[in-house]
A and B are shown apart, each in its own frame.
Chain A
Amino acid sequence: MSTPGTSQPASIPPMLEMRGVTKRFPGVLANDRVDFDVRPGEVHTLLGENGAGKSTLMKILFGLYQPDEGDLRLNGVPIRIESPTDAIGHQIGMIHQHFMLVPTLTVAENVALGLKSGRGPLTDLQAVSARIEEISSSYGLAVDPSVAIWKLSVGERQRVEIIKALYRDAQLLVLDEPTAVLTPQEVDDLFVILRQMSSAGRGLIFISHKLHEVMALSDRITVLRNGRVAGHTTPQETSRQELAQMMVGRAVKLAPDKPSVEPGADRLSISGLTVFNDSGSAAVTNLDLTVRSGEIVGIAGVSGNGQRELAESIIGMRHPSSGSIIVDGVEVAGSEPAESRGAGLAYVPEERMKDGAVGEFTVGENLVLVEHGSDRFSGRGLLRFGAIREHCRKLVDDYRVKTPSIETPTQSLSGGNIQKIILARELATKPTVLIAAQPTRGVDIGAAEYIHEQLVEQRSAGMATLLISEDLDEVFGLADRIAVMFEGSIMAILDTEAATREQVGLLMAGVESDPAPAAGVALDR
């Protein structure tokens, strides 16, 4: 597990070698004697939590940083990469997590951007288009070069990014969390393309923290932790469990232990709910759903099938056009969040920096964003700072939020810690119903594990939870019942015990299931 990469049968010389790379920032050792190499024709995964040093290492490779120690060799030749232009010149390409495309320009224009035209001052888009089509057909990257970027789906935009790199003849390609924005089907498509690229002799560096993807795609895996190499391994010699352990440095539970809880009374009853999205079409149609006390109901579905609108209409950020939402006996459809919360709702929103936290506020201020006006935290028109500080310190301790102090601006923390702050704040309101949308998306394993434990603990305490997640592992691990959402409707509600991934996957794609035993039983509840 912790054998250096060189001990592998190195029949093929590596195209990239990074040896003893060290990079220091004030107060932080971002990379500590990191060894990493890539051979032609392989997918080498760089795995690690946020802040483990993956980005720093890749920024060094891309010429954005210079290493303090250590050296780089490309095809055996020592090199110094001064800038991204330099990196591109060495046939190193990068697919960023956030696409670097101009939405108003066409595919061909985006690809040609920054390249010299064959026709001097005039553009040469026809030649570019022809080349793009050549690349598309040889890799199965179906994209029309003349279409403007803004008209493309997220998956298609990513293909354009890949084409851009291939057009520049990148031999070594860095893919920074490429699956973060993709649907499961798009991930499958992407993996086919990536395999094809590696079999053509290119070297791929795959950065991800989704363990099953890492296991599925990688030839070799290097795990970073706190700036150091925690180990080199391969999918054949390891397991998801072991990888998680290497990343975090201690044993982790990928799925929490769920004590059996007998569900109680209905806490959230939705009936006939229809909600429109921002562009005015129905995102949720005539939806019925019930969540009971002591129960977690998971909504599985591909992003964009109405989950966001469902969550927003329950909390009151979006007002439904018809239907009823009853929380603990109180009708909240059409209410503002203030009233819905009064009825016992709490909300962990999908976009934590947009709807969940005020980035400029301190950790403490975000922890009392909901309850600052309560008698506990204010009196005679003034905030009670003593009580607030005490409360916040306790929450920070209880939820193991990694922050220098409660006075730290929230936006300077990692996503996982911000998510813990939001969850801590919401659960502190002692809700009867929690709407948790993508509670662990982009969150490191340790934090995700902790968030899952908290959800299970609250379930035992009788809270009703609606868990909306695109992560099937999460849904299967936490939910008692799984409601599969497709195009604004619930296809079926399955008991988790009886459901299979294949069954759920088909329902997510809108394929009606056969009257399988599990589905029939669960539908009326």
Chain B
Amino acid sequence: MRRLVGGLVPLGAALVAFAFGALMLLAVGASPWDGLTALVSGAFGSGDRLIATAVKATPLLLVGAGITISFRASVVNIGGEGQIVMGALLATSLALGVPDLPAILLVPLVLMAGAVGGGLWGAVPGALKAYAGVNEILSTVMLNLVAVQFMNYLLRGPLIDPLELETGTRIPQTQRLSDNAALPALVPGTRLHLGVLVAVLAAFAVWVLLWRTPLGFRLRAVGHNPDAARAAGIPVRRSVVTALGLSGSLSGLAGAILVFGSEGQRMATDGSAAGFTGSAGFNGIVTALFGGLHPLWTIPSSYLFGGLLTGATNLQRQLQIPSALAIALNGLVVIFVVSSGRFQARIDRFVDGRRNLGTALADDGEPLAPAEAEVDSRG
């Protein structure tokens, strides 16, 4: 019962958000129905579009699955953007350094490099929080800025495509990277690449980690009650570093997939983080919250938000409506979902009240109410 309700409430919130979206469409003089069909068919209307949605959903899913790890350990990670960038930079450098390795080696290596780069970038604020008491919300956000400037420096300087220097266009991007590092297509002739599968597997892996391993047990114990965890002999500080490190490594993996799953097969930016990441580092948080901070629920959640992104492009093309409207819709969904937390809690209480004490579900496999997602940042 609770599982069912747990899924229905965010869905209801999404519907209300779409109703508001319809009003916005009216306001810009378009038919809400046409707008909605353009949005939905643009996202899910054909095989190609489904694939485009899956590709868009992939970084959201990876970042989101990472976010569930850190939030479950009661550590907030707003550093997805920076972790994506650092993962991508390390993976790109590796591909530039050993371009001739066979694909069977190079593909796993660049993915691992991405995870390592993002993981280290996540572990830094983790260590700062654990050993120096630095608030991780501030440090992760600030490290995003550092990562972007580092990326701009590298892509405008040491790593810039020599061709850009020759022609003098100086677009901040690398040269086309080794084809041996390109993520192979799952269905030949389409853009459906290995990264899409990797992301779904990663979400399952996070579920296993959190509910089937001693490490995940410790992270959740620390997240719920750091005092009791510490008294029981669980290293709380190390757990904080681990949580942010693992969270960052999934974002870093997303960074590598963004580079080696791209059509250009290169790392490129417009000078901002979003120019490379498409804001996946932030939208991934939303994706995880919408998925109730449960790695498996994050899968459908990421496809919904991925669909919004591809649908928005279609909306623009068919109805000449600015895609900004879809982004606003995205924001509305977030607001409604987060505020539905209170509603969810009320339903939970109702459900609990009707049940004899104790036949409650076990903790595993049950999404948290979105309200609980607003994790407090206990020191």
Contacts and interface: CB of A to CB of B under 8 A. Distances in A.
Interface of A: 26-28, 315, 317, 336-338, 341-342, 347, 349, 354-362, 365, 369-370, 372-373, 377-378, 381-383, 403-405, 407-409, 412-413
B189 interface: no
Contacts of B228: 354-358, 369
Interface stretch (B79-87, B341-349, B356-364): B356-364
A383 B232 CA distance: 17
Contacts of B358: 403-405, 408, 412-413
B191 to A, nearest CB: 35
B212 interface: yes
A370 B232 contact: yes
Contacts of A383: 212-214, 217
A373 B234 CA distance: 10
A370 B356 CA distance: 29
A369 B232 contact: yes
A291 B362 CA distance: 41
A338 B229 contact: no
A419 to B, nearest CB: 13
Contacts of B362: 362, 407
A362 B363 contact: yes
B134 to A, nearest CB: 21
Contacts of B378: none
A383 B220 CA distance: 14
7 closest cross-chain pairs (CB), A and B: A404-B358, A338-B233, A407-B362, A369-B232, A408-B358, A27-B356, A358-B225
Contacts, number: 100
A356 B224 CA distance: 12
Nearest to A351: B227
Candidate in B215, B228, B358, B359 with the most chain A CB atoms within 10 angstroms = B228
A336 B232 contact: no
B10 to A, nearest CB: 21
Nearest to A413: B358
Interface string B314-357: 00000000000000000000000000000000000000011111
Given A382-B212, A383-B213, A383-B214, A337 B231 contact: yes
B221 interface: yes
Contact of A336 (B213, B230, B359): B230
A338 B235 CA distance: 7
B232 A365 contact: no
A359 B224 contact: yes
A315 B227 CA distance: 12
A404 B233 contact: no
A448 B60 CA distance: 52
A338 B221 contact: no
B214 A378 contact: yes
Contacts of B359: 404-405, 408
Contact of A26 (B212, B227, B356): B356
Nearest to A342: B233
Contact of B233 (A341, A365, A382, A403): A341
6 contacts: A336-B233, A337-B233, A358-B221, A365-B363, A381-B214, A382-B213
B229 A369 contact: yes
A372 B233 CA distance: 11
Candidate in B228, B232, B355 with the most chain A CB atoms within 10 angstroms = B232
A366 to B, nearest CB: 8
B352 to A, nearest CB: 9
Nearest to A429: B233
Contacts of B353: 26
Nearest to B229: A358
A404 B356 contact: yes
B204 to A, nearest CB: 14
Given A381-B214, A412-B358, 14 more contacts: A26-B353, A27-B356, A27-B357, A315-B231, A317-B231, A338-B234, A358-B229, A369-B228, A369-B232, A372-B217, A378-B214, A381-B215, A382-B208, A408-B359
B73 to A, nearest CB: 13
Given A362-B362, A382-B212, A404 B357 contact: yes
A412 B360 contact: yes
A119 B251 CA distance: 63
B241 to A, nearest CB: 15
B231 A365 contact: no
A481 to B, nearest CB: 26
Contact of A409 (B213, B233, B356, B363): B363
Contacts of B220: 361
